[in-house]
Amino acid sequence: MLHREPPPPLTPPRKGEGNGGARRQRAEGRIAVEVVALGGISRVARVAESGSSRLRLPRSEHGLDGVMLNIAGGIACGDRMSVEVSARPGARLTLSTPGAERIYRSDGADAEIFTRLVAEKGASIAWLPQETILFDRARLKRRLDADLAPDATLTAFEAIGFGRQARGETVLAGLIEDRWRVRRDGKLVFAETLRLDGAIHDTLGKRTVANGATSLATLLHVAPDAEAKLEAVREALASHDVEAGVTAWNGMLVARILSVSAERLRDAARAALPTLIGRPLPRVWSC
């Protein structure tokens, strides 16, 4: 039986921050989707949307794709977003976004994003949003929880860009807390938390942290044959101008990618991800 930990309560908006102490109206969005396999074809069984979140299901010759939209046009301080995905036995789903998500400057409150992914027997989820761009003084807490059957597959990619580089922006300070917890057959197999708080620019400039890189990404692939993909992913990343490290063990593959250019990092991801998901990336990745 799969372990089903309930999502944590989201922090309520704070009072008395900015705007003369008045409580501001904040955006909330939620997507919940369930997919099933019928006759070997993955189909959507249920979709729920609320607030500023929408899910679109474009036609694809490569399987079932979902594109997540935030019609609020970005995430501001105090906004709260959540995505819940259930892939029933044998079902396959690839989720992405139409472009980068922007996290705007905060006057004190944290934005929160919660993602929960459940893949049952023989199911596969590819969680492939495009990069998140943090503005200077942005504050974001993000959590991803995944619960997998022993033979399920998860490919998860998250990239963070610090500032809009084409405009020469610098993220001097802020908060990014990125918490991942992955369970397989009810056992915790992957856990990490990235936290940069305060002087982000100075921290990224340290040689032992990012050596001046302004874009970073984590790629996690959990599958029974994950170790067999190690060399292919290494070769795909080595052909691009990024700094990357890839390792695999115990049915998991993890890649860390750093770059001074968000575009270079995106190009490297475009090369590596198809080797793991066994199909081309969704069309929105080429826009």
Q: How confident is the model at residue 145, as a pLDDT?
A: 98
Stretch among 4-13, 155-164, 266-275 having the lowest mean pLDDT: 4-13
Percent of the chain at pLDDT exceeding 70: 91
| 244-262 average pLDDT score | 96
DSSP annotation string for 125-180 = EEEE---EEEPTTBEEEEEEEEEE-TT-EEEEEEEEEES-GGGT----SEEEEEEE
pLDDT for 167: 74
Report yes or no: 64 and 49 within 8 Å, Cβ to Cβ: no
From the CB of residue 16, how many other CB atoms can be counted at a distance below 10 Å? Answer: 10
The pair phi, psi for residue 154, each rounded to 5°, is -130, 130
Q: What is the pLDDT of residue 162?
A: 93
Question: pTM of the predicted model, to two decimals?
Answer: 0.90
Instruction: For residue 216, give the nearest of 101, 120, 131, 115 by alpha carbon.
Output: 131
- Supply the pLDDT for residue 3: 44
Picking from 145-149, 155-159, 161-165, which range would have the lowest pLDDT averaged per residue? 161-165
pLDDT confidence band for 24 (50 / 70 / 90): low
